[in-house]
Structure 1
Amino acid sequence: MNDRAEQHHQHRDVTGGWLRPSVFGAMDGLVSNFALIAGVAGGTDDTKVIALAGVAGLAAGAFSMAGGEYVSVASQRELALAEIAVERRELDRHPAAELKELADDFVAKGVAPDLAAEVARQISANPERALEVHAQNELGIGPKDLPSPKVAALSSFASFSVGAVLPLLPYLFGVTGLTLSALLSCVALFGAGALVSAVTARSWWYSGLRQLVVGAVAAGLTFALGNLIGGTGL
């Protein structure tokens, strides 16, 4: 018996599944609020002002992300539904042409013509299955695979808030100075970057360091700008 024939392999989820939007949403909140807090801290030593800016940045960013994601996904869903409705009408009005189109698609993928015609006939016997297959072939998405705007909005709100609250935490607990906030943010940046390696081909340390550098540079430049404006009294 050939043991190699029994071996199986698994691929990582190249679409990212839930991990990709969650990690990138949290990363966005972390980088943007870390940079905002650093910028305000560069211009003032008033802890209350810095904390207020951080809270405002968290709220504004989270609501903006949620609203934008809701509208974006809702628009995408509406467009997909409209195109699926067009495909449904074509299946109702021109079943023979759609049957031939499906068979031709299988032939183009390497299936023998006779077998392709039979497979297309069997699929077309079930109208809902036929609609699903045609939609997948022509639109790249099925009627049952459409994303939910509400889920997308809530997920974006939650993930952004988680990231944005991290650089703010020390100030909420009465810590003064940017050092602890920056340290916590840098550790979180590296961790978020390392998590991204789960949906990429990069190593965890490379992804972590890359995200750390990007976030640190953004915060450093914003701190310098805040220091310049605060120092000059503008």
Structure 2
Amino acid sequence: MSGRAEQHHQHRDVTGGWLRPSVFGAMDGLVSNFALIAGVAGGTSDTKIILLAGGAGLAAGAFSMAGGEYVSVASQRELALAEIAIERRELQRHPEEEQAELAQALVDQGAAPDTAAQVAAQISSNPERALRVHTQTEFGVDPTALPSPRLAAVSSFLSFAVGAILPLVPYLLGVADLWVSAVVSCVALFGAGALVSTVTARSWWYSGLRQLLVGALAAGLTFALGNLIGAAGL
């Protein structure tokens, strides 16, 4: 009999890992810039203005996403570090009470009191291991795996930019027809939605169609508004 535990089934990554924020960042850039380009194209046929608007939308959105993500993740990291420091001081000042607290947490999870006490004692024998277990148990944070603000900012910038540039590609290649940009955007929307199905319980076609409809609706409404403003000569 193998010493390794038999694995009967596998679970999908419910946190999404890197895939979820990357795909959603790209979809955000795609939907917002597609809608912006459609709105401007609804009010003018000047390709230079459309390119300017699309390029500005890409840059503004990507830098905004990067800055917002950096501040958000940095604040989250700083809060986690402050709580970790508090827990470290408690483990140094009151090791017995913290060990008893851990044992009780194990009992609450279903362990027998004697077993819980033994496990808590073994964990507490190593200060860094004890810190990691306490922080994970008490507020769900691993001190060795805190998020990086810089990585989050760069990832957000790149994913948004990738999505936002797709509606611009036909114009950059000299094709000045909105319908070509719309086809490229719709295909990308469906593909991105289908990709999201890998981290959800929905089928690929359902997720793809849902994202396609949401993006097309946003672009259609913005185009109508731009057309209305253009017709009014504002």
Normalised by the shorter chain, which TM-score bucket? over 0.9
Q: CA deviation at 1:174?
A: 1.0
The one-letter code sitting in structure 1 at the alignment partner of 2:65 is M
| Residue 115 (1) aligns with residue 132 (2) | no
Q: Which secondary structure does the structure 1 equivalent of 2:76 belong to?
A: helix
Question: How far apart are residue 6 of structure 1 and its match?
Answer: 4.6
Q: Deviations over 1:32-87 (max 9, x none)?
A: 00000000000000001001100000000000000000000000000000000000
- Quote the RMSD (CA, aligned, Å): 1.0
In the alignment, structure 1 residue 221 sits paired with structure 2 residue 221: yes
Tell me the equivalent position of 2:105: 105
Which amino acid is 1:204 matched to?
A: W
How many residue pairs get aligned? The number is: 231
Write out aligned runs for 1:26-45 (5 A). 26-45=26-45
- Secondary structure at 1:8 match in 2: coil
Q: Does 1:175 align with 2:175?
A: yes
Partner of 1:164: 164
Q: Say yes or no: does 1:148 pair with 2:151.
A: no
Per the alignment, residue 75 of structure 1 pairs with 75
Q: 1 CA distance for matches of 2:163 and 2:129?
A: 42
TM-score (norm 2): 0.97
2-structure distance, mates of 1:231, 1:109: 66
Change (3 A) 1:127 1:6: closer
Could you list the structure 1 runs, at least 4 aligned residues long, displaced by more than 3 angstroms after superposition: none
Which digits, 9 at most, give the CA deviation of each residue in 1:119-138, with x for residues without a partner?
Answer: 00000000000000000001
- Partner of 2:64 in structure 1? 64
The 5-angstrom pairing of residues 6-17 of structure 1 reads: 6=6, 8-17=8-17
**Which stretches in structure 1 are left out of the alignment for 5+ residues?**
none
Q: Aligned residue for 1:231?
A: 231
The one-letter code of the counterpart of 2:205 is: W
Q: Name the SS of the counterpart of 1:162 in structure 2.
A: helix
- Look up the match of 1:54: 54
| C-alpha displacement of 1:173 | 1.0
1:115 deviation in Å?
Answer: 0.5
C-alpha distance in 2 between matches for 1:231 and 1:123: 72
CA distance in 1 between counterparts of 2:87 and 2:66 reads 31
Residue 8 of structure 1 and its aligned partner are, at CA, apart by 2.0
CA–CA distance in 1 between the matches of 2:192 and 2:144?
31
Letter matched to residue 41 of structure 1: A
Which residue identity lines up with residue 135 of structure 1 in the other structure? T
The match for 1:95 is 95
SS in 2 for 1:168: helix
Deviation at 1:206, TM superposition (A): 0.2
Q: Measure how far apart 1:139 and its partner are.
A: 1.2
1:17 deviation in Å? 0.3
Aligned to 1:134: 134
Q: Match of 2:45, as an amino acid?
A: D
Q: Give the Cα–Cα distance (whole angstroms) in 1 for the partners of residues 155 and 6 of structure 2.
A: 39
What does residue range 176-191 of structure 1 map to in structure 2 within 5 Å?
A: 176-191=176-191
